[in-house]
Structure 1
Amino acid sequence: MEPFFKHFLIATDGSESSDKAVRVGLELAARLGADAEILNVLEYGEEPADPGLRTRLTMLRDIDRHHGKLALEQAAELARKLGVGCRTLQPTGLPEQVIVQKAPDFDLIVLGTHGRSGVKRWVMGSVAEAVLSRSPKPVLVVHESYTPPILEPEAAPYQNLLIATDGSDCSQQATEYGLRLAKALGAEVTFLSVVSMLTRPQGAGLALSQALSLVEEEAQTQAEAMLEQARAKAQQAGVSARVKLMQGRPVDAIVKQALLHDLLLMGTHGRTGLDKLMMGSVAEGVVRRSQTPVLVVPCPEA
């Protein structure tokens, strides 16, 4: 398998979270031999009718433009240090629209969640959500709580990938994608499946409890078989892989397990909102809470 990430689009608003996203994106680009376009979008809306408001808005936009240029300069300097070819742009418009419109020309979109409030809002529920739900290309999301690891000199980052899977077609696509990425990085992967424990209604009789236990046992058996299939795919691809089966609340389990890895991969169902991400609200919760960067792989609708 050949490296398949060649052109990255990295969005920044100068916030702490996007600074972290810039670092993650450029480090991955350096590892994969990719180039990067670093983008700072100046968000312009309708002009207010009041002259005084227009003057104040112009001042805010000038400040915003200045901060954006500083963020781009810092990102470009980091790219030079890492040996990544890059160019910087500062277009105007709605950030999510600009990013999604440019997405087809790139192999990976990188952005942070949460940022400074005001004219620019890189927050889950606005820019990040819109990009995740509409991007035709994979999106790497870096949360503001992410702490980049301290590596030994000459150590290669992103050597342990976690792939969360639920056996769906979309998570299968994320698996294929994750294996290609792991091969390109020389990384190891862990496949994770979480079996939810069914709630026993208060006063449930013996028959109902036994029925629910049988359902849980069947789900676990299917998950075990699915994980072994994933391990076999990894072996065929020449990627070292482990499997892990957990019971409990999927969001909690995935977020906790992700802390032990450098990167988490998940798949999506369609492009109609975060509630349509793989495993429904599970992926939404993971993206919102994960302290590990999350690479979301889109699954085109049939």
Structure 2
Amino acid sequence: MSTKILICIDFSPLTPRIVKTGKELAKALNLGVHLVHAQPEKPSAPTAVVHQGADPSLGREMMKEIKELNNLKSDFEEEDIPCSYATPRGKTSDVIAAEAAKVEAPYIVLGSHGNGAMYHLVVGSVAEGVMKKLDTPVILVPAQQRLDREAGR
């Protein structure tokens, strides 16, 4: 397995900045990237359909995400950056830690959505969960609105 930078994708408005940061790091270090989009811990759309409880939009959403991941993969490869991706199911911090170990990631790039102290007290942060599981450096990309707020805009 080749060493790759792990880039965590959640398709939020912060995703382009996360991708840009990961791409810059990959170019600087001459490494490939592995994109990870963690899927929630719930039955897959086909399983739910079989059990008559499905929201048909679940399958469409997953197909849209796969298409977007393929587009991102192509963008990286057009710039000669080897790229792979995975969409594992499970708790986000567990999924990220497992994928980072699998690709021997020297760095993990993920977004910080700027949730407040109460959220972190109750839920915790993905970055914190990942850092508890691994010794791998985590590069946090701040949300733009937080940067604007700190700059007084």
Query: If the length of structure 2 is used for normalisation, what is the TM-score?
Result: 0.72
1:221 aligns with 2:54: no
5+ residue gaps in structure 2? 146-152
Aligned residue for 1:235?
77
Task: Give the 5 Å matches for 1:35-54.
Answer: none
Choose the corresponding residue for 2:91, options 249, 252, 264.
Answer: 249
Aligned residue for 1:163?
7
The aligned amino acid for 2:73 is R
Given that residues 183 and 239 in structure 1 are in contact (C-alpha distance below 8 angstroms), is that contact kept between their aligned partners in structure 2? Answer: yes
Shift, 1:275, TM fit: 4.3
Given that residues 171 and 268 in structure 1 are in contact (C-alpha distance below 8 angstroms), is that contact kept between their aligned partners in structure 2? Answer: no
Change in CA separation of 1:295 and 1:273 when aligned onto 2, cut-off 3 Å: farther
Task: List per-residue Cα deviations over 1:132-170 (Å, max 9, x = no partner).
Answer: xxxxxxxxxxxxxxxxxxxxxxxxxxx520101011121
* Count of aligned positions: 135
Task: List per-residue Cα deviations over 1:29-79 (Å, max 9, x = no partner).
Answer: xxxxxxxxxxxxxxxxxxxxxxxxxxxxxxxxxxxxxxxxxxxxxxxxxxx
Task: Give the 5 Å matches for 1:1-302.
Answer: 159-198=3-42, 209-212=51-54, 214-259=56-101, 260-270=104-114, 272-273=116-117, 275=119, 281-301=125-145
Aligned residue for 2:150?
none
The aligned amino acid for 2:29 is L
Q: Secondary structure at the match of 2:14?
A: helix
Q: Secondary structure at the match of 2:110?
A: strand
Aligned residue for 1:155?
none
Query: If the length of structure 1 is used for normalisation, what is the TM-score?
Result: 0.39
Change in CA separation of 1:179 and 1:273 when aligned onto 2, cut-off 3 Å: farther
Change in CA separation of 1:273 and 1:232 when aligned onto 2, cut-off 3 Å: farther
What percentage of aligned pairs have identical amino acids?
Answer: 24
More displaced stretch, 228-237 vs 211-220: 211-220
Aligned residue for 1:98?
none
Given that residues 255 and 291 in structure 1 are in contact (C-alpha distance below 8 angstroms), is that contact kept between their aligned partners in structure 2? Answer: no
Q: Secondary structure at the match of 1:297?
A: strand
The aligned amino acid for 1:164 is C
Shift, 1:263, TM fit: 1.2
The aligned amino acid for 1:267 is G
Change in CA separation of 1:257 and 1:290 when aligned onto 2, cut-off 3 Å: same
Shift, 1:215, TM fit: 4.7
Given that residues 195 and 220 in structure 1 are in contact (C-alpha distance below 8 angstroms), is that contact kept between their aligned partners in structure 2? Answer: no
Shift, 1:296, TM fit: 0.9
Q: Give me the whole-angstrom Cα distance separating, in 1, the residues matched to 2:58 and 2:7.
A: 22
Shift, 1:229, TM fit: 2.0
Superposition CA RMSD, Å: 2.9
Larger RCO (CA within 8 A; separation ≥ 6): 2
